[in-house]
Amino acid sequence: MSTVRVDIHKLTRVEGHGDIGVLVEDGKLKEASWEIVETPRYFEVMLKGKHYTSAAVLTSRICGICSIGHTLASLRATEHALGVEIPRVARKLRLLAKHGETLQSHYLHLFFLAVPDFLGAPSAIALIEADPELVGVAARLKRLGNTISEVAAGRMTHPVSLLVGGVAKMPERTRLAEIKAELEASLELVKKVIETFATLEIPEFARETEFVSLGGTEDYPWIGGRIVSTDGVDLAEADYLQATNEYCTDGNTSKWTKLSRESYAVGALARLNNNFDKLTERARQVARDLGLTPVNHNPFMNNIAQLVECVHVTEDAIRLVEELLDEPKGIETMAPVEASAGRGVGAAEVPRGILFHDYEYDESGRIVRANCIIPTTQNNANIHHDLGALVEEYVKRGANDEQMELLCSMLVRAYDPCISCSVH
């Protein structure tokens, strides 16, 4: 009978440091593990004593890829604690900044981290020669994401214009008009990407799990709202602790979470599974064309879910830019803010899934206690359990060491883990 061994120290083409260990002896699974070895960072401790104006600047630094998501969850928590209602136009600007980040992050993951496996290349750099047209399209789409965030939030990585109370300023109209034109043009470019993805061979695999995300009432959810799951959970944002149930394990520097089962999944596939009918018609059609309908339990389909979200977000960003262009000149983008004691929770759907920030402030507006629960933290246990099921399935199909190593790596990459985040 077969013996299969996979031992990967610091998996490549993921954000941060994680190890995969698999051992199959005589056709029997002995071990399949996903372990986070990234150095722990202690942000919740560092937040203590910080002024409310510093919290989002600090927590942005939890993640270089989803810093806008962290900033928005942080601001929302602070604004809930201080009882601040931000202006309507600021909500639109924040969502636009967020859409830019989603595009940038999803395209980065799809082209630079995930696709090389499907095309048999060690990196996107190697693809520059093999398929320059595809790399060119990828670079242009990713740049559009960066530009949108830059226009709406001043900078893509570690945004500068998103402040407690709103957004520092309205973007220049010429720049809004530019990104609108580029967004419209990108809907054509995306067609090439969809064609390419339609030819990719997505590994056959499914393990039933619980998908947790925000639930949209009218729109596909990105900032705030109720917490829902495919197992029927429905909780208020402020009750996130009942949804996450974080706990420590011996080896991992990331915590694990659980809800109705031993683990659950968050991210694009979870959002889509819970909110399929809130996608734009065009995005739903792309999903159907690529074989993705809810509830889909194949974690490799998270790649496809990210592409579907890119289509949705592009269309929604066009709508937002049009609305922003209609706003009168000199409209107020900031609400007044005053320090006060209180506690607030902020949830946001960031590229890798649902994110929670929770702060308690004293009367001088300084943080007494902080808690952040990260998407990848929530996915780590699910990845671990998926690995075991994947290995058992593919041992039956006769996979050798090399094939198993690639499949396991692709599974972890499909979750688009952000490990630095998960050990915040």
What is the contact surface with other proteins in residues (CB under 8 A)? Answer: 10, 12-16, 39-42, 44-46, 48, 50-51, 54, 57-58, 61-65, 67, 108, 112-113, 116, 122-125, 128, 135, 139-140, 142-143, 146, 153-161, 163, 168-169, 248-250, 253, 255, 420-421
- Minimum distance from CB of 420 to other proteins (Å)? 5
The smaller minimum CB distance to other proteins, of residues 158 and 226, is found at 158
Q: State the Cα–Cα distance between residues 297 and 394, nearest whole angstrom.
A: 17
For residue 214, the tally of other CB atoms under 10 A from its CB is: 25
From the number of C-beta atoms within 10 Å of its C-beta (0-12, 13-18, 19+), residue 365 rates as: buried
- Say if residues 263 and 382 touch (Cβ distance below 8 Å): yes
- Say if residues 340 and 83 touch (Cβ distance below 8 Å): yes
- Minimum distance from CB of 367 to other proteins (Å)? 12
Question: Half-sphere exposure of residue 365, counting CA atoms within 13 Å on the CB side?
Answer: 14
The smaller minimum CB distance to other proteins, of residues 275 and 409, is found at 409
Please give the torsion angle defined by the CA atoms of residues 215, 219, 220 and 221, in that order, rounded to the nearest 10 degrees. Answer: -50
- Minimum distance from CB of 181 to other proteins (Å)? 17
- Minimum distance from CB of 292 to other proteins (Å)? 26
The smaller minimum CB distance to other proteins, of residues 101 and 309, is found at 101
For residue 252, the tally of other CB atoms under 10 A from its CB is: 23
For residue 13, the tally of other CB atoms under 10 A from its CB is: 17
Sign for the pseudo-dihedral over CA of 195, 200, 201, 204: negative
The smaller minimum CB distance to other proteins, of residues 33 and 298, is found at 33
The smaller minimum CB distance to other proteins, of residues 39 and 199, is found at 39
- Scanning the structure block, which residue is given the tokens 């990407």? 193
The tokens describing 140, both together, are 């242009």
- Minimum distance from CB of 136 to other proteins (Å)? 8
Closest to 386 (Cα-Cα) out of 402, 353, 420, 409? 409
The smaller minimum CB distance to other proteins, of residues 228 and 317, is found at 317
- Minimum distance from CB of 96 to other proteins (Å)? 14
The smaller minimum CB distance to other proteins, of residues 208 and 250, is found at 250
- Minimum distance from CB of 123 to other proteins (Å)? 4
